């Protein structure tokens, strides 16, 4: 099995090599005539105002945090799923308890309206 | 060591095959879109427009590589690179045939026991490329596009991760080759896991930012989303990553639910040995799904962003969880039964769900005319 992970590394390196090659070739070949207006950030033909890395709605943070919570839930499920055939009915009740616990949190965020985008 | 050499050769061949397939998929997409809209599509450059991808590639390489003055230099260059590397690497896990069927070599780059998890993990790393690209551009539209893209992709990743759990439970392995061989012995998983397949298909559309979920690009609302400030090869690398991700999800869907590289066993009676043609079946199945992606693009309108997030969290996630628990209950309490009953239950739930999500509910959520 270890050798397969070495193969993953090879694939990563090959993919990285191709990506780097594309970037380098294009950087060497294209014309380079940057003017001030050409290098201006896009803003529908107006002069840009302010910075483009502004504060953004808290919704995105909430979604990211909820994703972490629920993705950990999913991560707990994988080993259970693969070994499920060997575990039998007891594993089902355990999984159900876990899912119900998580669902309490899910219903709470639903009622709080965290997932509502105006 | 010749073994290492073979793997390197296979990796290079796969990468170039994917790049060629990407180039021709753009052409095929334009041609099919055109056919659906009763027009011709690109047919001037070469016979049937076959040299169009080459012309596009040469053009994009010789384009000026503009880097906006407000951009973060390092991350701006690195972001498309990350996207394309993740997209290319993930495909290496897809098995293309039985062992030693590719001129004596194995028709895959790596065969991990956690195969499907590896594919999900690497493809979701693509979110970094998109978000960092949007952030590093130093312009406001890319920031919004990147934010939307990352929120959308992580939301639908939940549904995607949950919808394969049924498959893993039935097969008892996460190894892609074992999943294919299980289906060859016991029947295609689409029959037993139709609910899981439906949720996986929808999340695959959202994960690859395709219509109806192409909010991150949404050129009528956000200019071009996270792509706004990218030019020449960096733009092409993003497109490449997107299309390679489509191919990967097509391959994953064929492998998980449609028997992967194995053809139907009954065909062996008519054409002996046809169920084992290496690669042919996988490519045929992938072609079907890629056509489906294009077809959907041509026929469905885009969702609104709030509808998209609501659908991901309030419909897809619970349905995928329900599917998981259905399979778990079935396997725990009816251990000896045929899986066909499970498939019927899944089909019933799917039809019921579609019937319940009536047009009236959709109309109730639509903004009132004149309001807002």
Q: Is B193 on the interface with A (CB under 8 A)?
A: no
Domain span including residue A106: 3-112
DSSP conformational letter for A50: S
Integer-rounded Cα Rg, in Å, for chain B is: 22
Residue B131 — pLDDT band, cuts 50, 70, 90?
confident
Residue A71 located in a structural domain: yes
| Tokens standing for residue B308 | 């998209």
Average pLDDT, whole number, for chain B? Answer: 83
Cβ B315 vs Cβ B163: under 8 Å = no
Q: Is B66 on the interface with A (CB under 8 A)?
A: yes
Give the model's pLDDT for residue A104: 93
Residue A95 — pLDDT band, cuts 50, 70, 90?
confident
Residue A107 located in a structural domain: yes
**What is the arithmetic mean of pLDDT over B102-121?**
84
pLDDT winner (highest mean) among A55-69, B89-103, B281-295, B333-347: B281-295
pLDDT at B52 exceeding the cut of 60: yes
CATH number of the domain within which A23 lies: 1.20.58
Contact yes or no for A39 and B69 at CB 8 A: yes
Task: Return residues 329-358 of B near A (CB < 8 Å).
Answer: 329, 331-333, 335
For chain B, the structural domain boundaries read 65-357
**What is the arithmetic mean of pLDDT over B11-22?**
90
Give the model confidence (pLDDT) of B188-219 as tens digits: 888 888 888 989 999 998 888 777 777 666 56
Give the model's pLDDT for residue B193: 85
Q: Is B291 on the interface with A (CB under 8 A)?
A: no
Give the model's pLDDT for residue A13: 92
Return the percentage of chain B with pLDDT > 90, whole number. 16
Task: Return residues 26-45 of A near B (CB < 8 Å).
Answer: 26-27, 29-34, 36, 38-43
Total domains, chain A: 1
B167: which residues sit within 8 A by CB, 6+ positions away?
B179, B189, B193, B196, B256, B257
Residue B289 — pLDDT band, cuts 50, 70, 90?
very high
Contact yes or no for A23 and B234 at CB 8 A: yes
Residue A118 located in a structural domain: no
Contact yes or no for B113 and A1 at CB 8 A: yes
Residue A91 located in a structural domain: yes
Contact yes or no for A95 and B325 at CB 8 A: yes
Chain B residues closer than 8 Å to A58 by CB: none
Task: Return residues 196-235 of B near A (CB < 8 Å).
Answer: 223, 228-229, 232-234
Q: Determine the Cα–Cα distance for residues B14 and A10; give it in Å rounded to an integer.
A: 12
Residue B38 — pLDDT band, cuts 50, 70, 90?
very high
**What is the arithmetic mean of pLDDT over B124-147?**
84
pLDDT at A20 exceeding the cut of 50: yes
Q: Is B237 on the interface with A (CB under 8 A)?
A: yes
Give the model's pLDDT for residue A100: 92
Q: Determine the Cα–Cα distance for residues B262 and B283; give it in Å rounded to an integer.
A: 11
Q: How many CB atoms lie within 10 A of CB B322?
A: 17
Chain B residues closer than 8 Å to A99 by CB: 321, 325
Q: Is B2 on the interface with A (CB under 8 A)?
A: no
Give the model's pLDDT for residue B216: 67
Chain B residues closer than 8 Å to A11 by CB: 11, 14, 88-89, 92, 109-110
Residue A1 — pLDDT band, cuts 50, 70, 90?
low
Residue A117 located in a structural domain: no
Residue A68 located in a structural domain: yes
Contact yes or no for A14 and B60 at CB 8 A: no
Chain A residues closer than 8 Å to B147 by CB: 56, 60
Return the percentage of chain A with pLDDT > 90, whole number. 13
Cα distances (Å, whole numbers) of residue B151 to A9, B62, B154: 29, 34, 5
Contact yes or no for A15 and B15 at CB 8 A: yes
Task: Report the range of poorest mean pLDDT among A51-60, B124-133, B192-201.
Answer: A51-60
pTM metric for this prediction: 0.88
Give the model confidence (pLDDT) of B142-178 as tens digits: 888 888 888 888 889 888 999 999 889 888 888 888 8
Contact yes or no for B140 and A54 at CB 8 A: yes
Q: Determine the Cα–Cα distance for residues B50 and B20; give it in Å rounded to an integer.
A: 12
Q: ipTM of this predicted complex? A: 0.87
Higher pLDDT residue, B130 or A118? Answer: B130
* A to B CB pairs, distance under 8 Å: 218
Average pLDDT, whole number, for chain A? Answer: 84
Give the model's pLDDT for residue B291: 92
Q: Is B15 on the interface with A (CB under 8 A)?
A: yes
Residue B34 — pLDDT band, cuts 50, 70, 90?
very high
Q: Determine the Cα–Cα distance for residues B42 and A51; give it in Å rounded to an integer.
A: 41
Q: Determine the Cα–Cα distance for residues B252 and B286; give it in Å rounded to an integer.
A: 9
Pick A60's closest partner by Cβ from B3, B11, B147: B147
DSSP H helices in B37-72: 52-62
């Amino acid at each position: 099995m270890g050798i397969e992970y070495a193969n993953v590394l090879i694939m990563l390196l090959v993919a990285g090599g191709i990506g780097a090659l594309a970037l380098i070739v294009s950087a060497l070949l294209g014309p380079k005539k940057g003017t001030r207006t050409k290098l201006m950030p896009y803003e529908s033909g107006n002069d840009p105002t302010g910075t483009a890395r502004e504060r953004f709605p808290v919704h995105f943070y909430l979604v990211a945090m909820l994703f972490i919570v629920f993705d950990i839930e999913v991560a707990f499920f994988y080993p259970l799923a693969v070994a499920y055939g060997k575990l039998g009915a007891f594993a089902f009740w355990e999984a159900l308890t876990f899912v119900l616990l998580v669902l309490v949190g899910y219903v709470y965020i639903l009622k709080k309206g965290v997932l509502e985008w105006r | 060591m010749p073994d290492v050499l073979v793997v390197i050769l296979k990796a290079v061949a796969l990468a170039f095959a994917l790049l060629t397939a990407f180039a021709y998929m753009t052409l095929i997409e334009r041609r099919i879109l055109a056919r659906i809209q009763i027009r011709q599509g690109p047919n001037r450059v070469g016979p049937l427009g076959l040299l169009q991808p080459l012309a596009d590639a040469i053009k994009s390489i010789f384009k000026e590589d503009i880097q906006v003055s407000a951009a973060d230099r390092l991350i701006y260059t690195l972001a498309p690179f990350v996207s394309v590397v993740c997209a290319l690497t993930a495909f290496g896990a897809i098995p293309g045939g039985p062992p030693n069927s590719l001129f004596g070599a194995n028709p895959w780059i790596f065969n991990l026991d956690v195969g499907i998890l590896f594919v999900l993990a690497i493809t979701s790393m693509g979110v970094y490329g998109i978000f960092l690209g949007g952030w590093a551009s130093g312009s406001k539209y890319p920031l919004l596009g990147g934010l939307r893209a990352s929120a959308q992709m992580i939301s639908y990743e939940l549904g995607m991760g949950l919808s394969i759990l049924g498959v893993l439970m039935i097969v008892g392995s996460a190894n892609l080759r074992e999943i294919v061989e299980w289906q060859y012995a016991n029947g295609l998983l689409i029959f037993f896991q139709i609910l899981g397949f439906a949720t996986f298909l929808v999340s695959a559309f959202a994960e690859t930012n395709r219509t109806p979920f192409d909010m991150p690009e949404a050129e009528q609302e956000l200019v071009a989303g996270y792509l706004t400030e990218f030019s020449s090869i960096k733009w092409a690398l993003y497109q490449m990553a997107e299309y390679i991700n489509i191919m990967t999800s097509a391959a994953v869907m064929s492998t998980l639910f449609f028997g992967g590289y194995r053809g139907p066993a009954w065909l062996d009676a008519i054409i002996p040995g046809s169920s084992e043609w290496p690669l042919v079946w996988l490519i045929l199945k992938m072609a079907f799904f890629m056509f489906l992606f294009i077809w959907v693009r041509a026929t469905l309108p885009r969702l609104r962003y709030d509808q998209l997030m609501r659908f991901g969290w309030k419909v897809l996630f619970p349905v995928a969880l329900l599917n998981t628990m259905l399979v778990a209950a079935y396997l725990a309490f009816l251990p000896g039964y045929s899986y066909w009953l499970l498939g019927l239950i899944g089909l019933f739930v799917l039809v019921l769900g579609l019937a319940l999500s009536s047009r009236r509910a959709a109309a109730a959520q639509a903004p009132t005319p004149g309001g807002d």
